[in-house]
Amino acid sequence: MSLLQSTQFRPDPSANATRRALLRAWPELQNPAAWLVALILVIMPLIANGFFLIEIFATTLILGVIALSLMFLAGYGGMVSLMQLTIAGFAGYMVAVFGMSGNANISLGWPWWLATPMALALATLFGTLGGALAVRTEGIYTIMITLAIGAAFYYFTNQNWAIFNGHTGINTVATPHFWGVDWRSDIAFYYVTLGVAAICYFAVQYVSRAPFGLALQGVRDNPRRMAALGFNPNAHRIAAYAFAAFIAALGGVLQVWNYRQISPGSVSVGACIDVLIIAVVGGITRPIGPFIGALIFVLLRTFALDVLIKLGLDGNRFRLLIGLGFLAIVFWSSDGVIGLWERWRRRSASSTQRSGGGRHG
């Protein structure tokens, strides 16, 4: 029997090795649940109507991408940055400023394929500079400085009329339209967001296992030791900010295409904190966490009003619900919903084991 098996495997040892290497690099490939989720996401337009497709799923994916950038910084770099939404908003503003919009006196009217890379580059630069500033201090100071950057940007967009058009913001931003497809139509836009989210997810997954990601995790755990080993902790941190800023900028571009407008309200301090809530509620140890958090957040935001009214409560207390939920998560699970799920699974696994063992004994 063993001989048979070994002959079965013999014909193609190199292919087998590559397969194992692939599986080690992407353990999701072995997880049936991951394949199921991917399948459902791909055939979603067949199941869901336009409202669910855009208002729930596309919005979830966009918020998830922005929160993913925070998860990358916080989970692998140990830096909780509250300016990820600000970077996304900056990218959105740049799309509106360089591209076409209803405010012709501000927008430069570049075509989308020029305006979008420009916006991504500028937003990445913005995030990198902010990061370079934030890494000068550590731990909780990072939160304070990034929050100050975010708040300053919010007040700046409110005050500045020359570029950001004050508190009215920029409206009717043009969306890409090529190859005969309107990429903002519901189904096309859903696939665009799904594609970007998938790329970002796998990029974060990949970087976390690449030498850079491992070094970053080393810097998170013990910067002094990494410095002694010859790594430059601050350079790694700034590079992490740059990578995260690019992801956040992608999310920001998608967001401005989704709403077709951007105003200071989209970069308010509350919205910055929402991104933190999404990442923390989902769990900041794995890249899937932010997407779970975003789904919970979007569902709550969309349906809390109706549910609260149906329960005879004041429907405007949605933020109270979010805040209390966030507090509960922070209090009882340091690892968000993923942590709760894992703890529950471990407990049920150990209890079945115990009951099984009891039967044998």
Residues within the interface to other proteins (CB under 8 A): 80, 133, 136-137, 139-141, 143-145, 147-149, 151-152, 155-156, 159-162, 269-270, 273, 276-277, 280, 314, 316-317, 319-320, 322-324, 326-327, 330-331, 334
Strands (DSSP E) contained in the chain are 177-178, 181-182
In terms of CB distance, is 181 or 324 closer to other proteins?
324
Minimum gap (Å) between residue 199 Cβ and other proteins = 29
Q: How far is the CB of 326 from other proteins (least distance, A)?
A: 4
For other proteins, the closer of residues 51 and 161 by Cβ is 161
Judged by beta carbon, residue 39 or residue 163, the one nearer other proteins is 163
Q: Which is nearer to other proteins, 80 or 196 (CB)?
A: 80
What is the closest distance, in whole angstroms, from the C-beta atom of residue 101 to other proteins in the complex? 20
CB 299 within 8 A of CB 56: yes
Taking phi over 0 as left and psi of -120 to 50 as alpha, with beta for the rest, 279 belongs to alpha
State the nearest-atom distance from the C-beta of 226 to other proteins, in Å.
20
- The nearest distance, CB 40 to other proteins, in angstroms, is 32
Q: How far apart are CA 280 and CA 67, in angstroms?
A: 9
**Least separation in angstroms between CB 172 and other proteins:** 23
Find the Cα–Cα–Cα–Cα dihedral 285, 291, 295, 298, rounded to 10°.
Answer: 100
Alpha-carbon gap, residue 296 to 273, rounded angstroms:
15
Torsions phi, psi of 176, nearest 5?
Answer: -65, 150
Nearest-5° Cα angle at 193, 301 to 149? 65
In the complex with other proteins, which residue's Cβ is closer, 188 or 308?
Answer: 308
CB of 328 vs other proteins, minimal distance in Å: 9
Q: From residue 83, give the alpha-carbon distance in Å to each of 79, 223, 225.
A: 11, 23, 28
Q: Distance between the two ends of the chain, CA-based, in angstroms? A: 33
DSSP of 111-169, one letter per residue? -HHHHHHHHHHHHHHHHHHHHHHHTTS-THHHHHHHHHHHHHHHHHHHH--SSS-GGG-
Tell me whether residue 35 or residue 161 sits nearer to other proteins (CB atom). Answer: 161
Chain position carrying tokens 């696994």: 349
Is the Cβ of residue 74 or residue 247 nearer to other proteins in the bound state?
74
